Amino acid sequence: MNAIEVRQLTRRFGDFTAVDDLSFSVGRGEIFGFLGSNGAGKSTTIRMLCGLLRPSSGTAVVGGVDVGADPEGVKRRIGYMSQRFSLYEALTVDQNITFFGGVYGLGRERLEARRAFVLEMAGLRGREKTLTRTLSAGWRQRLALGCAILHEPPIVFLDEPTGGVDPLSRRRFWLLIDQLADEGITILVTTHYLDEAEHCHRIAVIDAGRLAAMGTVAELKQLLAGRPIVEVRAGEPVAAMRALEAMPEVEKTSMFGTTVHAVLRAAGAAPGHLVGRLQEAGVAVSSCEVVEPSLEDVFLDLVERSAS
Ligand SMILES: Nc1ncnc2c1ncn2[C@@H]1O[C@H](COP(=O)(O)OP(=O)(O)OP(=O)(O)O)[C@@H](O)[C@H]1O
Ligand SMILES: [Mg+2]
């Protein structure tokens, strides 16, 4: 049986459809990523899967429990880290753990065992009496994860867990996620960092409430098969972008830092031709080559295509 089974899940707010006919399933021990622009409907979907928000239509079965029929039953079987960390800032590390232990109804012995686990996992030993609001974002994030899994849920929902956290802490956090998945825990996670999305076993790209694409990173990259990406470095990237966009074989361009990626309409156009014409247009090109598509190329392609 799948850990999460979603069928035609829909949520409307008045006339506005925030989540539109979503269907997908997530296997046990899978790290499943949700990618989408701001307002795509990721948090709304997660809140429905956690039994916090009623679906307008469709069904979701999480850990064998139908979220519409038994939202309380779902809450007991899952861990949830909301987009705004759900810790109490005015409490100490220890007090937060005790508080969440109470919420999940842990007995004293189990709470103490789990407290030791969380302090270890989060690297917070020795900081038990520290006020949560004075912890750095990385510690707070690991404590929030620990509190969300105090009751050892088999399924965990993480809504943008790494927002505002430095790269080193993000790495450390993803090591924890990988460990949880290795233990058979199912993780559904949203992120805006595409490098993080590469950790996910499978990814769903959500755009305006709908499923735009789903698959492994390799499968998603296949969506650009037959449309090569040419990476151009030039003295003036904006001028290069304009010149590329005027060329008939270029479908579209996007800026990647100081380089420009051009998606070609078809394979075959040699980058050398592009260089010649860029130079004719007065653009000083330092390099121009076909590159493997990144997840960001795929994401921009999917999201822009549906917006136009
Ligand atoms: N309670 C609500 N009432 C009305 N509209 C809502 C409500 N909750 C969410 N929305 C709208 O639904 C859409 C989806 O919101 P949601 O928070 O799910 O997006 P998201 O993908 O999580 O975005 P972000 O990346 O910014 O967190 C947005 O347009 C939002 O304004
Ligand atoms: Mg959100």
Is 251 within 8 Å of 244 (Cβ atoms)?
A: no
Report the separation in Å between the CA atom of 42 and the middle of ligand 2, taken as the mean of its atom positions.
5
Ligand that comes closest to the CA of residue 16: 1
Which tokens go with 246? 């005027």
**Pocket around ligand 1 at a 6 A CB cut-off:** 13, 18, 36, 38-44, 83
Q: What percent of the chain has pLDDT over 70?
A: 98
This prediction has a pTM of 0.92
Q: What are the structure tokens assigned to 110, written together? A: 């189990």
Q: CA–CA separation, 243 vs 296, rounded Å?
A: 22
The reply to whether 223-307 shares the fold of 4-215 is: no
- Give the distance (Å) from ligand 1 centre to CA of residue 17: 10
Residue with tokens 């012995």: 109
Q: Is the domain covering 223-307 a CATH 3.30.70.100 domain?
A: yes
The alpha carbon of 68 and the centre of ligand 1 are apart by a number of angstroms equal to 20
CATH 1.20.120.530 fits 4-215, yes or no: no
Query: Mean pLDDT across the chain, nearest whole number?
Result: 93
Written as tens digits, the pLDDT of the chain (308 aa) is 899 999 999 999 999 999 999 999 999 999 999 999 999 999 999 999 999 999 999 999 999 999 999 999 999 899 999 877 678 999 999 999 999 999 899 999 999 999 999 999 999 999 999 999 999 988 999 999 999 999 999 999 999 998 888 889 899 999 999 999 999 999 999 998 898 898 999 999 999 999 999 999 999 999 999 999 999 999 999 999 999 999 999 999 999 888 999 999 988 767 788 999 999 999 999 999 999 999 999 999 998 766 65
CA of 62 to the centre of ligand 1 (A): 21
Name all contacts of 168-174 with Cβ < 8 Å and 24+ positions apart. 168/138, 169/136, 169/137, 169/138, 169/141, 169/142, 170/196, 172/138, 172/142, 173/138, 173/141, 173/142, 173/145, 174/199
- Pocket probe for ligand 1: among 10, 11, 12, 13, the residue whose CB has the most ligand atoms within 8 Å is 13
Cβ–Cβ < 8 Å for 173, 145: yes
Query: Measured between alpha carbons, how far is residue 68 from residues 1, 113, 114, 164 in Å?
Result: 19, 33, 30, 33
Closest CA to 176 of 210, 146, 221, 155: 146
Residue nearest to atom 10 of ligand 1 (CA): 18
The ligand minimizing its distance to the Cα of 41 is 1
Phi, psi of 71 (to 5 degrees): -60, -35
State the distance from the centre of ligand 2 to the C-alpha of 46, rounded, in angstroms: 9
Give the model's pLDDT for residue 36.
94
- Ordered by start, the domain boundaries in the chain are 4-215, 223-307
List pLDDT tens digits, range 245-265: 999 999 999 998 889 999 999
For strands 186-190 and 31-35, give the pairing: parallel
**Per-residue confidence (pLDDT) for residue 28, from 0 to 100:** 96
Give the chain's radius of gyration (CA, Å). 23
